[in-house]
Amino acid sequence: MLQVRTVSKQYGQTLALSKVSFNMQDGETLAILGPSGCGKSTLLRVLAGLEHPDQGDVLWDDQEITHLPPEKRLFSLVFQDYALFPHLNVLANVMFGLIERKTPRKQAGQVALDWLEKVNLQGLERRRVTELSGGQQQRVAVARALAVNPRLLLLDEPFSNLDQQLREEVQNELLATLRETRSSTILVTHDQQEAFKLASRVIVMREGKIEQVGTPSDLYHHP
Ligand code: ADP
Ligand code: ADP
């Protein structure tokens, strides 16, 4: 379980996060929703360990992780631009985190192949990622993130580079994958429809603060 307790973060005069607190249960898909500049990315970077809060703390299973480096948190992060390795093929991209964690090469290859099948990319494992479409690259990024069996998956506006039709397709696929794997997931988005569609609970942020928390139907009926 993740606990965020009164986390604040300031950049110069800008209060990017102001006493943000929430809990998240294992297996939950949580969306952080709000307009540009409300602090979503800052919150995600604090959770990932890429940024330290000025105040407050972050706990995982009752252990303080506020100052734990990113690689020790066992979280996976998918950025807006996917950050795939262009010189590696699809399979090698998905194997990367496993090899880094000292998984034997053969086993890593098998796990990566299984994940490529789960995200419907079977047959493309030898392609260079630069030869793939945006939607396919997005799926490689999700497969790479989930292949290491992270305690928490962090997604930062993962569909923003896709056109509307493709976005819906890839959203549906991600939803199916997350339901199947029951991965604990936090999704940052400014798209209300996307948050309502993918998340079981939504945190609405505004100017660095949590404005509302609820299930999509709570928020839909009491906006
Ligand atoms: P969002 O992800 O919701 O668009 P951000 O977390 O990126 O919001 O930003 C929250 C606020 O903090 C914004 O006003 C932004 O300009 C500011 N901010 C974010 N990162 C930095 C930074 N590294 N330096 C200065 N200001 C920042
Ligand atoms: P996002 O679109 O995901 O919210 P942004 O475009 O707000 O991301 O920020 C991208 C990067 O720029 C982040 O690393 C953030 O820290 C930095 N940044 C955002 N706002 C500012 C700012 N006002 N001054 C300096 N750096 C900023």
The answer to whether 153 and 73 have CB atoms below 8 angstroms apart is no
Q: Whose CA is nearest to atom 21 of ligand 1?
A: 11
Q: How many CA atoms lie within 13 A of 69 on its CB side?
A: 2
pLDDT in single tens digits along all 223 residues of the chain:
999 999 999 999 999 999 999 999 999 999 999 999 999 999 999 999 999 999 999 999 999 999 999 989 999 999 877 789 999 999 999 999 999 989 999 999 999 999 999 888 999 999 999 999 988 998 999 999 999 999 999 999 988 878 888 888 888 888 888 888 888 999 999 999 999 999 999 999 999 999 999 999 999 876 5
Q: Residue 52's Cα: distance from chain center in Å?
A: 18
Q: Is the CB of 39 under 6 A from ligand 1?
A: yes
17: which strand partners? Answer: 9
Instruction: Quote the ipTM score.
Output: 0.72
Q: Which ligand is nearest to the CA of 205?
A: 1
DSSP states along 14-45: EEEEEEEEEEE-TT-EEEEE--TTSSHHHHHH
Q: Is the CB of 41 under 6 A from ligand 1?
A: yes
- 89/111 Cα distance (integer angstroms): 16
Core vs surface per residue 168-182: b (16+ CB within 10 A) or e: eebbebbeebbeeee
